[in-house]
């Protein structure tokens, strides 16, 4: 754990520069707008250790699979969102000496991510090897108003000298992905153009033939006045730059304003790309940096008005929840149904920028409650449009008759994960896709989605489970062998409780959905029946047999559900038995040792109890939590939030708060020693859930939103807003007091502490009591 970032309610602050933390900071201080993103690399040259990263949503390359032993069914490639043209670059040369912080003495350094207004700022004073000292202040952002625009204000002041400067803003598309399987470059130049103060380069991805045009236009001011200049125009393959000679005078600030457009062929015809990019850049240039920044601040103010969580009395907790919400909104806006949420967003290369089951299990609840309902719907439609690919994925593994297996990792619907224990065995992911449909309809009441899209997906998933499950004559039970559950520290196990449970739930929910559509939308049902060749009586007969006679491992003596067959035969140790130098075990132990151990990577049985808590009584939840949590190392970013929510429900307030801080500050404090690869974007939605569903106790029960809040003992208050049924509700919790305000034009009935209350339009409900004080 690294705690070098300063605590502040609205900003992430780094004071002083430690090169060993640079990759972590590059991840944490990343900026984006849902269409593109940029790691917190330096504008000027830096020869030290760095992971350069500029990313464009939806632009990927199918990197050929690299494995030691090829197995039938392996995907042929791993889809990777590519490191794209480096648009922030501004080289500074001073009397022939390059400004490079790796070669300077850094006198002072400060980096600030302003989450309230949506920009990154960096200031430093550095002494060059020649002894010359400069002061630099840089500010940049990716506009969420004009989401193809990036803007930079970069100022440099010679503090104790006058000298000739060469200032060279540039665009460099000659970039690599550090995680390339075969060390190849993925971009080829299509065309380039350099003018006096403008430059453009269009590059195309190999194989997938996506094109991206990145262009810039810049202005230079000296001592407050814009200067005219001629530039040296540079062009080499995939690189364009404009070099400007300036005589810098001691104490006089030089300011470079750089305006950038990043346009892709996802949204523009290739032949129109450069022309459209020139228009976008010109419009940004004409609008000017200050106006763009003002619009950015106003747009973020609106987002914060809708989604902010306010915590009084705990700056660390306040900073972290805002950081998580900020990164979620930088990653996904819901504007484009072709896009989804990669586990690292725009903050790093790991996981390829592709979509995992994380979206459905963790991100959907956040967007349902904080954004328009159509945003959540878009996430479901994304999966519906990949249904045919899911059927193809299942067919590659030998499944037939329209069985659908959604991919573990994808960017276009095709499976591209190439580890057998995940690709072939971590099939519980199918359950997350089905549960998301249920969760969306439960929250929004949009039953029409079933007939339009949802039922086809549910039937495809049910068909998969019906074929994947087998009947054991010896045990007279249906079983499922050879799976990996959410706990990826166990592979190829038999009868993982969570996988068995969610499979049966999927079969039951599919049958419920069939009955609903058949009764309420008979014409639609007939259309679906014919389209997918669905034979209701024959197929549902088998589903009912499975659902009524499935094997679920359980230990009667302990009163717990057993994670999988044989789990209790392991040597039983707890996380407290581990030595500090063992942690994290995935970086210090052999895989063999991990697989033999009892330690759990993330919620497994508890994942099921979280999703289906209303299926079990509190004593069952408690026994399982108290058994499994001490075995859990939380080395998945997705783990702490589930534990926080269950602990809160059980009244285990200290554990709930401990788990909240772990999920909330996972990246800020680098808990798992892996933030340098990028931030854990999808798990950030879990941080929001830990407060709203955990501390706030929010649930939807029979179409009514319910709250059962408690407040951590060191907090003075907390407040959040949610959207529900066309209403905007604000919940404020203080010790011994709960307040719910209805910021809507219509009244609403809600439930608080199991009692119904009706709140009129614009009215506030005040109640004495919280779950921990009354």
Q: How far apart are CA 442 and CA 435, in angstroms?
A: 10
Among 488, 539, 629, 676, the active-site one is 488
Average pLDDT over residues 491-513: 98
Assign residue 670 a region (left: φ > 0; alpha: ψ between -120 and 50; beta: otherwise): left
pLDDT tens for residues 245-300? Answer: 999 999 999 999 999 999 999 999 999 999 999 999 999 999 999 999 999 999 99
Q: What is the mean pLDDT of the chain?
A: 95
Q: Can you read off the two tokens belonging to residue 528?
A: 């679906």
Give 742's pLDDT tier (boundaries 50, 70, 90): very high
CB 157 within 8 A of CB 139: no
Check residue 694 and give its pLDDT.
97
SS3 (DSSP) at 209: coil
Phi, psi torsion values for 423, nearest 5 degrees: -55, -50
CB 185 within 8 A of CB 176: yes
Percent of the chain with pLDDT over 70: 99
Three-class DSSP labels, 639-684: HHHHHHHHHHHCCCHHHHHHHHHHHHCCCCCCCCCCHHHCCCHHHH
Residue 76, Cα to own-chain centre: how many angstroms? 25
CB 351 within 8 A of CB 344: yes
488 is catalytic: yes
Q: How far apart are CA 167 and CA 258, in angstroms?
A: 12
Q: Can you read off the two tokens belonging to residue 387?
A: 């249904």
Q: How far apart are CA 351 and CA 409, in angstroms?
A: 8
Give 773's pLDDT tier (boundaries 50, 70, 90): very low
Cβ within 8 Å of residue 192, ≥6 positions away: 199, 200, 201, 202, 235, 238, 240
Check residue 74 and give its pLDDT.
81
| Tokens 């601040």 found at | 297
Percent helix / strand / coil, the chain, rounded to 5: 35, 25, 35
pLDDT at residue 191 tops 90: yes
Average pLDDT over residues 671-695: 93
Relative to beta strand 163-172, strand 90-94 is antiparallel
Q: How far apart are CA 458 and CA 453, in angstroms?
A: 9
pTM summary value: 0.95
Cβ within 8 Å of residue 44, ≥6 positions away: 90, 91, 92, 99, 100, 101, 136
Check residue 353 and give its pLDDT.
60
pLDDT at residue 760 tops 90: yes
Q: Is the dihedral of CA 390, 392, 396, 402 positive or negative?
A: positive
Q: How far apart are CA 13 and CA 122, in angstroms?
A: 10
pLDDT tens for residues 306-359? Answer: 999 999 999 999 999 999 999 999 999 988 888 899 888 999 988 776 788 899
pLDDT tens for residues 79-112? Answer: 888 999 999 999 999 999 999 999 999 999 999 9
Give 772's pLDDT tier (boundaries 50, 70, 90): low
Q: How far apart are CA 505 and CA 507, in angstroms?
A: 5
DSSP state of 685: H
pLDDT at residue 682 tops 80: yes
pLDDT tens for residues 538-567? Answer: 999 999 999 999 999 999 999 999 999 999
Relative to beta strand 704-707, strand 748-752 is parallel
In Å, what is the CA distance from 52 to each residue of 15, 24, 346, 540? 21, 12, 12, 52
Taking each helix axis from N to C terminus, what angle separates 497-520 and 455-468, rounded to the nearest 10 degrees?
140
Residue 574: how many other CB atoms lie within 10 Å: 12
Lowest pLDDT segment from 76-80, 162-166, 243-247, 358-362: 76-80
β-sheet bridge partners, residue 70: none
Q: How far apart are CA 621 and CA 560, in angstroms?
A: 9
Residue 409, Cα to own-chain centre: how many angstroms? 14
Percent of the chain with pLDDT over 90: 90
Q: Can you read off the two tokens belonging to residue 590?
A: 């052999």
| Stretch (H or E) spanning 256 | strand 254-264
Q: Where do the H-state alpha helices sit in 111-201?
A: none
Half-sphere exposure (Cβ direction) of 241: Cα atoms closer than 13 Å: 21
Check residue 392 and give its pLDDT.
96
DSSP state of 144: S
Check residue 757 and give its pLDDT.
97
């Amino acid at each position: 754990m690294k705690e070098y970032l300063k605590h502040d309610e609205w900003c992430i602050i780094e004071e002083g520069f430690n090169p060993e933390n640079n990759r972590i900071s590059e991840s944490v201080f990343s900026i984006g707008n849902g269409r593109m993103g940029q790691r917190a690399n330096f504008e000027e040259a830096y020869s030290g250790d760095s992971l350069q990263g500029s990313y464009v949503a939806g632009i990927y390359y199918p990197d050929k699979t690299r494995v030691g032993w090829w197995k039938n069914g392996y995907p042929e490639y791993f889809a990777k969102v590519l490191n794209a043209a480096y648009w922030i670059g501004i080289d500074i040369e001073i009397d022939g000496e390059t400004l490079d912080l790796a070669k300077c003495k850094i006198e002072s350094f400060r980096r600030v991510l302003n989450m309230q207004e949506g920009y990154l700022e960096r200031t430093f004073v550095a002494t060059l090897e020649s002894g010359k000292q400069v002061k630099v202040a840089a500010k940049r952002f990716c506009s969420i108003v004009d989401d193809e625009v990036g803007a930079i204000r970069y100022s440099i002041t010679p503090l104790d000298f006058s000298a000739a400067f060469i200032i060279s803003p540039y665009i460099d598309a000659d970039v690599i992905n550090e995680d390339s399987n075969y060390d190849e470059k993925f971009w080829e130049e299509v065309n380039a153009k350099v003018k006096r103060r403008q430059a453009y380069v269009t590059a195309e991805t190999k194989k997938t033939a996506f094109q991206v045009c990145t262009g810039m236009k810049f202005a230079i001011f000296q001592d407050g006045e814009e200067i005219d200049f001629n530039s040296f125009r540079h062009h080499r393959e995939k690189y364009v730059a404009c070099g400007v000679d300036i005589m810098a005078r001691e104490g006089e600030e030089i300011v470079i304003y750089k305006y950038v457009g990043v346009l892709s062929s996802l949204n523009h015809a290739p032949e129109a790309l450069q022309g459209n990019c020139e228009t976008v850049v010109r419009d940004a240039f004409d609008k000017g940096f200050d106006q763009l920044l003002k619009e950015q601040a106003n747009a973020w103010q609106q987002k914060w008005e809708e989604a902010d969580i306010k915590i009084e009395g705990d700056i660390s907790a306040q900073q972290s929840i805002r950081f998580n919400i900020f990164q979620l909104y930088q990653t996904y806006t819901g504007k484009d149904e072709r896009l989804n949420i990669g586990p690292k967003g725009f903050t790093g290369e790991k996981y390829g920028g592709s979509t995992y089951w994380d979206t459905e299990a963790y991100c959907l609840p956040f967007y349902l409650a904080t954004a328009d309902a159509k945003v959540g719907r878009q996430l479901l439609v994304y999966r519906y449009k990949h249904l045919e690919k899911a059927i193809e994925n299942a067919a590659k593994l030998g499944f037939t008759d329209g069985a659908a297996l959604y991919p573990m990792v994808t960017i276009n619907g095709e499976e591209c994960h190439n580890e057998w224990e995940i690709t072939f065995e971590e099939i519980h992911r199918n359950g997350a896709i089905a549960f998301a449909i249920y969760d969306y309809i439960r929250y929004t009441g949009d039953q029409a989605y079933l007939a339009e899209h949802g039922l086809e997906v549910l039937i495809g998933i049910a068909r998969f489970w019906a074929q994947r499950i087998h009947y054991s004559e010896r045990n007279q039970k249906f079983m499922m062998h050879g799976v990996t559950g959410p706990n990826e520290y166990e592979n190829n196990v038999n009868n993982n409780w969570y996988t068995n449970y969610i499979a049966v739930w999927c079969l039951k929910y599919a049958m419920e959905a069939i009955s609903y559509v058949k009764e309420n939308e008979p014409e639609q049902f007939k259309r679906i029946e014919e389209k997918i060749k669905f034979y209701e009586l024959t197929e549902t007969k088998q589903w009912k047999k499975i659902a009524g006679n499935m094997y679920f491992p359980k230990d009667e003596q302990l009163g717990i559900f057993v994670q999988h067959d044989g789990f209790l035969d392991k040597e039983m140790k707890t996380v407290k038995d581990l030595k500090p130098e063992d942690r994290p075990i995935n970086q210090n132990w052999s895989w063999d040792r991990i697989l033999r151990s009892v330690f759990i990577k993330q919620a497994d049985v508890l994942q099921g109890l979280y999703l289906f808590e209303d299926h079990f009584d509190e004593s069952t939840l408690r026994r399982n939590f108290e058994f499994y949590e001490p075995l859990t190392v939380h080395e998945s970013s997705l783990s702490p939030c589930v534990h926080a929510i269950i602990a809160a429900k059980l009244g285990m307030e200290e554990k709930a708060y401990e788990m909240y801080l772990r999920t909330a500050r996972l990246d800020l404090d680098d808990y798992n020693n892996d933030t340098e690869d990028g931030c854990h974007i999808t798990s950030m939605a879990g941080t929001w859930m830990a407060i709203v569903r955990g501390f706030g106790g929010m649930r939807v029960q029979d179409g009514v939103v319910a709250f059962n809040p408690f407040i951590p003992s060191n907090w003075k208050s907390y407040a959040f807003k949610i959207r529900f049924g066309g209403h905007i509700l604000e919940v404020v919790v203080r010790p011994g007091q709960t307040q719910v305000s209805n910021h809507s034009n219509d009244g609403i009935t809600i439930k608080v502490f199991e009692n119904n209350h009706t709140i009129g339009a614009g009215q506030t409900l005040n109640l004495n009591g919280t779950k921990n004080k009354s």
